[in-house]
Amino acid sequence: MPSAARSLLLFLSLTLPCLANAEDRPGHMVYLRTIDPGIEQDIRYAGAQNFTGHPLDGYEAAECLLSLDAAKALARVQSALRAQGYGLKVFDCYRPRRAVADMGRFATEPGDPRKAEFYPRVDKQDFWRLGYVARVSNHSRGGTVDLTLTGPGALPADTWTPSATPVDCTAPYGQRWHDGAVDMGTGFDCFDERAHTDTTLINPTAMDNRQRLTRAMEAEGFTGYSAEWWHFTYSRDPGLKTVMDFPITPLEPMAQGLGDSRQLIVVTSKHWDDIQGTAQRYERRDNRFEKLEAAFPVVLGKNGMGWAQEPASLEKRQGPIKQEGDGKAPAGIFKLGTAFGYAPKAETKLPYLALTPAIECVDDSQSKRYNQLVDGTTVAKDWGSSERMRRSDDLYRQGIFIEHNTPAFPAAGSCIFFHIWRSPTTPTRGCTAMAPTDIERLFNWLDPQQSPLLVQLPEAEYEHLRERWQLPER
């Protein structure tokens, strides 16, 4: 055994007593897509498109997991960038300890299957000395993420296969691997001086993109790493000290029924065309949903409800189909997304967007921004109609984005929220509205870690689907 390998194994054996057991996922660790499904994911170490050329130990699924606080902070970064026309794509998040050891073994063993792309000018035995590989990684503590910036001018992402010809990660933007991001100067996991954050060897466009990403990340408490422009660690949670080794496993799908949701809001009306209904909160206890406090009144669309076009996997029965501008609230099961409001900050566990006069919700189905909240002063306008979110009344003083038609299908409906009602008898244009005290209660109660869902149906449909979708009794 080479001396470097013996040293690595000795180091790991000495540190094992201080590390967390390789058991279940801790409660503070969450799947990023349950907090913000709009953040793109390309988890490289779950496959072979990385510097080792093989999937790493412990990556049983291509999923990003982070601590809850780090995930919520990243969702706020995404919201800020979206308002400017940009977004995030993550390459790696939580990394099991066993995966770090796998990297260490690779650095001491013969073979360089991906050298030509990821480290053409570096000897892999120098990875540790140069700071590209760590013996104990902050990724294993749950607050570190590798990511890039998507946005205007980005070349479409290519589909990688093992037969793809390796191209130097420092090659010009149009020549190296197209990962769907804007030009960042190098590709991800590029072990080269050009990947250093303070390099002067990249073009001005790439430098601007790096600075845009860094500013957005630092604003929410993430600190960068000098040797890798893509690497950021959340610095506002001093409790992230334990090195973990639980495997990354698939997130259970919610295509049918309620999945692993532990918070539920059920909204029902008497008939399809009713404009009034009731909402009831539930919490899952001992694998059974129980009512939380009394039901409260809501108002619906001026033309009642219509089946949502999405999610497509939910069974649709007889009844109207929701379309853009039809004045119907969507019927089905929906995730709950970003909270928003007029205040700069809010007491909520949901990701929060403070509305400014420039924030719009695009309802033009021909736009690339259809069904998105955008900052109209920073995004190239390609829409003919939208809704101003900072209104002169109180309707959007507090609101929550209902993830209907997400990702957006043209003309299927847009800009659906929980928000404050105008009155108990005044319908909406398709949203679900309620009294200020009730939406404030939702702000305080909803927790992304509990995978909250909205079930919204006429009573007859609810009863018909209750057993199949495993819905609680009303």
For residues 126 and 62, state if they share a domain.
yes
Strand order in the sheet with 40-41: 40-41, 87-92, 144-150, 228-234, 222-225
For residues 65 and 149, state if they share a domain.
yes
Indicate the residue type of 160.
Answer: W
What is the Cα–Cα distance from 270 to 384, expressed in whole angstroms? 36
- What is the token pair recorded at 81? 């960038």
In this structure, is residue 373 part of a structural domain?
A: yes
What is the Cα–Cα distance from 112 to 166, expressed in whole angstroms? 12
In this structure, is residue 472 part of a structural domain?
A: no
Provide CB contacts within 8 A for 186, sequence distance 6+: 169, 170, 176, 192, 194, 195, 202, 229
For residues 182 and 295, state if they share a domain.
no
For residues 374 and 415, state if they share a domain.
yes
- What is the token pair recorded at 460? 């007859």
> What CATH number is attached to the domain comprising 173?
3.30.1380.10
| Parent domain of 298 | 263-465
Encode the chain (474 residues) as per-residue pLDDT tens digits: 344 443 433 333 333 333 444 468 887 898 888 788 789 999 999 999 999 999 999 999 999 999 989 999 999 999 999 999 999 999 999 999 999 999 999 988 999 999 999 999 999 888 878 877 778 899 999 999 999 999 999 999 999 998 899 999 999 999 999 999 999 999 999 999 999 999 999 999 999 999 999 999 999 999 999 999 999 999 999 889 999 999 999 875 433 457 778 999 999 999 999 999 999 999 998 778 999 999 999 999 999 999 986 433 344 457 898 999 999 999 999 999 999 999 999 999 999 999 999 999 999 999 989 999 999 888 889 999 999 999 999 999 999 999 998 878 888 899 999 999 999 999 999 999 999 999 999 999 999 989 999 999 999 999 988 877 789 988
The residue assigned the tokens 């984005």 is: 401
- Could you tell me if 439 and 418 are in contact, meaning their C-beta atoms sit under 8 angstroms apart? yes
In this structure, is residue 257 part of a structural domain?
A: no
For residues 196 and 343, state if they share a domain.
no
Per the structure, the count of domains in the chain is 2
For residues 72 and 116, state if they share a domain.
yes
Does residue 228 have an active-site annotation? yes
What is the Cα–Cα distance from 473 to 271, expressed in whole angstroms? 18
In this structure, is residue 239 part of a structural domain?
A: no
Please name which of 307, 299, 304, 310 lies closest in space to residue 328, comparing C-alpha atoms: 304
- What is the token pair recorded at 292? 């939380």
What is the Cα–Cα distance from 273 to 277, expressed in whole angstroms? 11
For residues 286 and 198, state if they share a domain.
no
In this structure, is residue 88 part of a structural domain?
A: yes
Q: Which of 63, 228, 310, 403 is labelled catalytic? A: 228
